[in-house]
Amino acid sequence: MAGKIKGNVASTPPKAKSGGFFKILLILLVTLILAGGAFVLGAYLNFIDLDKLADDWKVYDKPVIGRFFQKPQPFAPPVPDTEASALLPPVQPAPPSPSVMVPTDSRPPTVAEEAAEKSKKARQAEEAKRVSKLARLYTSMKPEEAVAILNQLDDGMVLAILNKMEEDQAAKILAAFDARRAARLTEAMLKAKPDI
């Protein structure tokens, strides 16, 4: 009887590792998911600066992914309009009379003035975000559909939206406008009117 048991045990072949490849594949997949989640969490919590990474790698120049990143705009002070200043004669300030001296206001700005300035900048930043969002929305549309909507808006708003778009998409939309409005918008772009 003991010989019979040994024969049964010896006749069963050892198991081959058929699931080893799938285990390794599963471990790699889980590691990839965890790494991606860590990257997203780091970007969400501002541990990773996506704007700096995009600027370092020049992602905005790439053909497909570049449309999701804006090219950084160099800061340039506003240039005065030379045509308007050429038409006006130069104004020479009259020397102040010695008896009427107005004291200059050399006090530092108050807390209320600083708060008003901060709120003004915050409103401008929020409005710029809204215009950028609208520009992305109109970029995703067909030019004919976008023009049908943009025809209902005033020129200032249309200019702000067109200035935030990529040049090729803005050109397609501008070409879809009627000739008079396209000429008027182009003239306003050349005069470099400030955005809304």
Residues 65 and 140 in one domain: no
* Domains held by the chain: number: 2
Residues 57 and 126 in one domain: no
Query: Does some domain include residue 3?
Result: no
Mention every residue, 6+ apart, whose C-beta is less than 8 A from residue 161: 131, 134, 135, 138, 150, 153
Question: How many CB atoms are located within 10 Å of the residue 48 CB?
Answer: 14
Mean pLDDT over each residue of the chain, to the nearest integer: 78
Residues 53 and 128 in one domain: no
Mention every residue, 6+ apart, whose C-beta is less than 8 A from residue 153: 161
Residue type, 38: A
Identify whether the C-beta of residue 173 lies closer than 8 Å to the C-beta of residue 138: yes
Q: Dmax of the chain from CA atoms? A: 132
Query: Does some domain include residue 47?
Result: yes
Structure-token pair, residue 66: 């570049």
Residues 57 and 121 in one domain: no
User: pLDDT tens digits for 33-90?
Assistant: 999 999 999 989 989 888 888 888 888 888 888 887 777 776 655 555 555 555 555 5
Residues 125 and 194 in one domain: yes
Counts of helices then strands in the chain (DSSP H, E): 9, 0
User: pLDDT tens digits for 136-160?
Assistant: 888 888 989 889 998 898 888 888 8
CATH of residue 120's domain is 1.10.220
Asked if residue 164 has pLDDT above 80, the reply is yes
Tell me how far apart the terminal alpha carbons of the chain are, to the nearest angstrom. Answer: 97
Query: Does some domain include residue 46?
Result: yes
Closest CA to 72 of 83, 64, 81, 60: 60
For the chain, percent of residues with pLDDT exceeding 90: 15
Query: Does some domain include residue 152?
Result: yes
Give the model's pLDDT for residue 51: 82
Closest CA to 195 of 127, 114, 108: 127
Q: In which domain, by residue range, is 37 found?
A: 21-72
